[in-house]
Amino acid sequence: MTTETVLPIDREAVISRSKQNNEPEWLSELRLEALQAATRLELPKLEKTAIRRWKLDAYGSYRQEEKLTSLDSLPQQALDLLTASEADTNLLVQRNAEVVYDKLAEDLKAKGVVFTSLSAAVRDHEQLVREYLFKAIGKDEHRLTALHAAYWSGGVFLYVPRNVQVEVPLQGLFIADEEGTTCAPHILIVAEDNSSVTYVDNTVSGPGVKELVHSRAVEVFVKPGAKVTFASVHHLNKGIVDISIRRAVVENDGSIDWIIGEMNDGNGLSDTTSILKGNGSKSNTRAVCIGMGEQQLDLTTRAVHIGKHSDSNMVTRAVMQDQATAIINGITKIEHGATHANGEQTERVLMLSPQARGDANPMLLIDEDEVTAGHAASVGQVDENQIYYMMSRGISREMAERLIIYGFLEPIVKSIPLKEVSEQLQKLVERKLER
Amino acid sequence: MSQSPTLVIRGLKASVEGKEILKGIDLEVKGGEVHAIMGPNGTGKSTLASAIMGHPKYEVTAGEVTLDGENILEMEVDERARAGLFLCMQYPSEITGVTNADFLRSAINARLGEGNEISLIKFIRKMEEKMKELEMNPEFAHRYLNEGFSGGEKKRNEILQMSMLEPKIAILDEVDSGLDIDALKIVAEGVNRMRGPERGFLIITHYQRLLNYIKPDFVHVMMQGRIVKSGGPELAERLEAEGYDWIKEELGIEDVTVGNDEEEFKVPMNTIAPESLMKK
């Protein structure tokens, strides 16, 4: 049953953009192959989310943005999200389709660290980019990855050479604030042997954007002994569908920490995977999510164990209000041969209204005997006795509910290793709950 | 604050899931007074406490309750608390992720109102002082509210909240259940420290031993959802010596319980039954 799908992206536009950006031949070809594949590929199969009913055709068109020399012209709402004290360095800003600002501290440059837009890196660091781009995420896994591969623009290339420890977090800021314009950043991070780096990004939208598919792909390559912390918080408008696919490939004794904050107001597909390829590789995933209105969310955290003694821990907590729906999947896959692997996962959903829906689906898929694995999942309502207890001390119902929600998210927020991110997440949770 | 408060309960009837538990209670508690409500299990004592505080499960079907002339039955639970009522609960809830200190500060600030919030330093000092009096480990300030607390620790925590919130009328619902004798003394001392003309107490218990440490001014006995006998401290002493049977005989009551409220009979899983119960 193959039907030619009408794509939201035009072939001529892909060709002309690739040309305009002076992209190497192989990349132009990759884009066109992906676009071709998109016509025959299906949407990803989501067990319980009717993604085909989502508005998935508003990819927008490419528009050039003016480069910025200072951050002053950016919306205050976006600037508030920058956390570091010297907010204008070690920062990259993408506005709609293009990176408009990027600045890396001189000392890091001197050490060989690269932190630049991916669209520039395909020319300036061509060999490196070519070696890794679309190697963790296949360009033709399903229609959404294919469309992303064909149409991504801007993005981040972060490269940390062997033995280099980047002590300060590098920040990304993504702003979608023009109706009808593409926002599809691709983030590629390569941490060489025994290096370490922390990357934090925020994604916001302007009030003018009524309809858009924000398409994001993140590929992280963690080489032997390297350590990468990746924190990402999305808070996009109601009309924006967020498709975010993140994947790390972790080699011997490497580790990845994922911190994911899903604070969007629109529908979202979020899929975060660690492929623990190396022996002794580790991953730690923490995700928080707040759903409201009629939002539909499909959140997956996944760990694939290939290496021996590999270790994964995944924790997701979601708060659902109004008529929001969340499908929370946790998948621990242990391949044959991954002896002494250990995989733990927990999914918890707190529902604040009788119309809200939350499904927690823990899955352990284990093809090896000598392993340990565990899961815990719960879906529950706010306990009226708790509300009564707090109210009997003079606290209003509203405040009591809020304390319970914060309390519910606290164990994750507290465990975030970056103080700035944890504080900011707290603020965003407040903002979203206060509306 | 110096004004002496008055809680007046008139003809209070309340039911749970359609079953009438309180069948007309009349009681007046003034500042400076300690009233004890005694009676066997299942006679409606805890229902009285919950109905006054406003637990959603209890429906008041008749009568009135006023605090300093204000009708509290028309108030939400939090408004009742801010008006000066406090209920020390038999089974306090556990709340993950909210620390004891944060909770208490929110409660105090809710009472003081916006713009009059207690300063952090003042709050911490006061909390530390009160915790010391109750011989609580200072760590408890930063533990999640009641989570993993033993029965005795929970009760001490209730008294801590009471002493921080300084209510006009404090209702203690079976505060002695699950306490060993040392903890009982500490809790009683905590209550006694708070006695004064600006505060009235309503203490619900079915063991007389608590009243050895908190001397009541008035003692009321509840059976079948009513106050069947009232007197001075001598009434508690007689109950201790002779039990409840003489009252039952006097009034011709066979079954003292009301509504067969099963919950009243339950011994909570997480508390140790008091010695006096173990003996029977």
User: pLDDT digit string (tens) for A157-209?
Assistant: 999 999 999 999 999 999 999 999 999 999 999 999 999 999 999 999 998 89
Q: Give the closest of B53, B56, B92 to A384, CB-based.
A: B56
CA distance A69 to B191: 67
Half-sphere exposure of B160 (CA within 13 A, CB side): 31
For residues A396-425, average pLDDT: 86
Q: Are B40 and B255 in contact (CB under 8 A)?
A: no
Q: Give the closest of B78, B87, B92 to A396, CB-based.
A: B78
> pLDDT band for position A431 (50/70/90)?
confident
Residue predicted with more confidence, A225 or A403? A225
Looking at the complex, report in whole angstroms how far the Cα of residue B91 sits from the nearest Cα belonging to chain A: 10
Provide the pLDDT for residue A7. Answer: 83
> Searching chain B, which residue's CA lies closest to the CA of residue A411?
B97
> Searching chain A, which residue's CA lies closest to the CA of residue B88?
A392
Q: Are B60 and B12 in contact (CB under 8 A)?
A: yes
Element containing residue A273 per DSSP (H, E): strand A268-276
> What token pair was written down for A166?
């980047």
Looking at the complex, report in whole angstroms how far the Cα of residue B77 sits from the nearest Cα belonging to chain A: 6
Q: Which of A196, A195, A185 is nearest to A157 (CA)?
A: A185
Q: Which of B154, B88, B100, B170 is nearest to B128 (CA)?
A: B100
SS3 category, B35 = strand
CA distance A335 to B180: 54
For residues B261-271, average pLDDT: 45
| Mean per-residue pLDDT over chain B, rounded | 89
- As a dihedral over the C-alpha atoms of residue B245, residue B246, residue B247, residue B252, rounded to 10 degrees, the angle is 80
Residue predicted with more confidence, A7 or B262? A7
Write the DSSP symbol of residue B220.
E
Provide the pLDDT for residue A417. Answer: 77
Q: How far is CA B29 from the centre of its chain?
A: 13
Surface-to-core class of residue B57, CB atoms within 10 Å of its CB (0-12 exposed, 13-18 middle, 19+ buried): middle
Subunit contact B53:A408, Cβ cutoff 8 A: no
For residues B196-219, average pLDDT: 93
Subunit contact A393:B103, Cβ cutoff 8 A: yes
pLDDT one-digit tens code per residue, A302-351: 999 999 999 999 999 999 999 999 999 999 999 999 999 999 999 999 99
Which stretches within A137-263 are classed as H helix?
143-151
For residues B77-103, average pLDDT: 95
The interface predicted TM-score (ipTM) is 0.90
The string over B11-27, giving b where at least 16 C-beta atoms fall within 10 Å of a residue's C-beta and e elsewhere, is ebbbbbeeebbbbebeb
> Searching chain A, which residue's CA lies closest to the CA of residue B104?
A393
B interface test, pick of A384, A391, A408 with most B CB neighbours within 10 Å: A391
A340 conformational bin, left if phi > 0, alpha if psi -120 to 50, beta if neither:
left
> pLDDT band for position A435 (50/70/90)?
low
Q: Are B195 and B34 in contact (CB under 8 A)?
A: yes
Provide the pLDDT for residue A4. Answer: 60
Longest CA–CA span in chain B (Å) reads 59
CA distance A228 to A248: 10
Cα–Cα distances in angstroms (integers) from residue B34 to residues A205, B158, B211, B215, B240, in the given order: 61, 18, 10, 8, 18
Sheet holding B19-30, edge to edge: B19-30, B6-16, B58-67, B70-71
Residue predicted with more confidence, A423 or A275? A275
> pLDDT band for position A18 (50/70/90)?
very high
Contacts of B229 (CB under 8 A, 6+ apart): B220, B221, B235, B247, B251
- pLDDT exceeds cutoff 90 at B275: no
CA distance B99 to A319: 20
Subunit contact A390:B95, Cβ cutoff 8 A: yes
Provide the pLDDT for residue B260. Answer: 62
Phi, psi of B158 (to 5 degrees): -65, -40
Provide the pLDDT for residue A97. Answer: 94
Q: Are A217 and A233 in contact (CB under 8 A)?
A: no
Q: Are A262 and A288 in contact (CB under 8 A)?
A: yes
> pLDDT band for position B180 (50/70/90)?
confident
> Searching chain A, which residue's CA lies closest to the CA of residue B87?
A392
Provide the pLDDT for residue B254. Answer: 86
Q: Give the closest of A392, A400, A404 to B53, CB-based.
A: A392
Provide the pLDDT for residue B270. Answer: 41
Phi, psi of A122 (to 5 degrees): -65, -20
> What token pair was written down for A59?
């990819």
pLDDT one-digit tens code per residue, A80-96: 777 655 678 999 999 99
Subunit contact B103:A390, Cβ cutoff 8 A: yes
pLDDT one-digit tens code per residue, A340-381: 999 999 999 999 888 999 999 999 999 999 999 999 999 988
Whole-model pTM: value is 0.83
Q: What type of residue sits at position B223?
A: M
CA distance A197 to A200: 10
- pLDDT exceeds cutoff 60 at B129: yes
Provide the pLDDT for residue A3. Answer: 55
- Scan for tokens 């009913």, then name that residue: A53
Which residues of chain A lie closer than 8 angstroms to B54, CB-CB? 392
Which residues of chain A lie closer than 8 angstroms to B56, CB-CB? 384, 388
| Mean per-residue pLDDT over chain A, rounded | 93
Strands B34-38 and B85-88: unpaired
Q: Are B247 and B227 in contact (CB under 8 A)?
A: no
CA Rg value for chain B: 18
A interface test, pick of B106, B159, B165 with most A CB neighbours within 10 Å: B106
- pLDDT exceeds cutoff 80 at B263: no
Topology (CATH level 3) of domain B6-94+165-275: Rossmann fold (3.40.50)
Which residues of chain A lie closer than 8 angstroms to B110, CB-CB? 393-396, 399
Element containing residue A286 per DSSP (H, E): strand A282-291
Residue predicted with more confidence, B103 or A431? B103
